[in-house]
Structure 1
Amino acid sequence: MSSVWQYLTLGLDQETFGIDIENVHEILDYRKPAALPQAPSFLAGMIDVRGQSYPVVDLRTKLGLPPAEPTAATRIILLNIPMPNRPMRVGFVADRVFEVTELDRAEMEDAPDVGGRWRSHYIGGIGRKGEAFVVVFDLVALMSGDDPALLAAA
């Protein structure tokens, strides 16, 4: 069995992230979500897609990055995440979407836990695409916690 899997690569700030293509339902041009009162700061609001409601997560806020105004490249990635109790439909706001790429899971490295920038429990692994690194999200862990994934600067 091949250990090569396909990932949707996306950009946030200067970083490249990957999401297992099996979880990706659709990619939409950005539209402003309807705000929800009392929602956590990372929840941008809700959108309706053909009669289905999707909560929209601002990945920048979720990862502790500074907010940025949407641009022509901003996208909402609709995902189906297999949470332990039930599947979760959610949209992620990304600064830009690059491509679907293949990464070899056998060559993927664990997230370094050396006091770096990212909370390693949100990272499923780190793959290589040429000279670039692709940080692959552990979507269940990312959506299970309310704390930002980016560690506060010491």
Structure 2
Amino acid sequence: MAELAQYLTLGLADETFGISIRNVREILDIRPISRLPHAPDFLVGMIDVRGSGYPIVDLRTKLDLPRVPATEATRIIILDVPMEDRLVGVGFIADCVFEVTDIDESRIEPPPSVGGRWKSDYLAGVGRKGDKFVIIFDLRRLMLSTDLMQTAEAALAKPVAA
């Protein structure tokens, strides 16, 4: 029996990744990002969206992929990320966003443990869309970083310069 769930599919370094649509708040065009001093490499800064500040994570850096310049296709995806006892709004930079698609969750396989170009501990599994693979992020594990939370919470306590 198929257990279809909707995922936002996005592109990073010629791979297709998926994030549960339940976690997606909105998708934004790339925009200027206010830098944060002493932040981890993957935390590029903060943006203001209608009066709320969001820390912005470079997914390429977080996955140990080389950085690339932003293009017209580059997007910031604002997500509700489960952290401890609450949801935290975090923006992720992706090379591009493809679509919202149905993936059969009953057929999601565990991530391969043979090593690869990305850290498998950040992945919930590998799903299929037709004949293509979609690598599903585990957002909680992806963001399990006290550095991120401390830096983001400190930055959120201060107003973001426009």
- Matched residues, number: 146
> 1:102 Cα deviation (Å)?
0.5
Correspondence for 1:60: 60
Bigger share in helix: 2
> 1:21 Cα deviation (Å)?
0.1
Letter matched to residue 81 of structure 1: V
Correspondence for 2:129: 129
Correspondence for 2:149: none
CA displacement, residues 64-104 of structure 1 (integer Å, 9 cap, x when unaligned): 11000000000000001121232111000000000000000
Runs of 4+ in 1 over 6 A off after TM superposition: none
Distance in 2 between the 1:78 and 1:51 partners? Answer: 14
Distance in 2 between the 1:134 and 1:142 partners? Answer: 16
Q: Does 1:24 align with 2:35?
A: no
> 1:130 Cα deviation (Å)?
1.3
Correspondence for 2:119: 119
Q: Identity over aligned residues, as a percent?
A: 60
Matches within 5 A, 1:14-53: 14-53=14-53
Which ranges of structure 2 fall in alignment gaps of 5 or more residues?
147-162
> 1:47 Cα deviation (Å)?
0.2
What TM-score, normalized by structure 1, do the two folds share?
Answer: 0.90
> 1:11 Cα deviation (Å)?
0.2
Distance in 1 between the 2:117 and 2:58 partners? Answer: 18
Distance in 1 between the 2:32 and 2:130 partners? Answer: 35
Distance in 2 between the 1:32 and 1:41 partners? Answer: 17
Distance in 1 between the 2:143 and 2:33 partners? Answer: 18
RMSD: 1.4
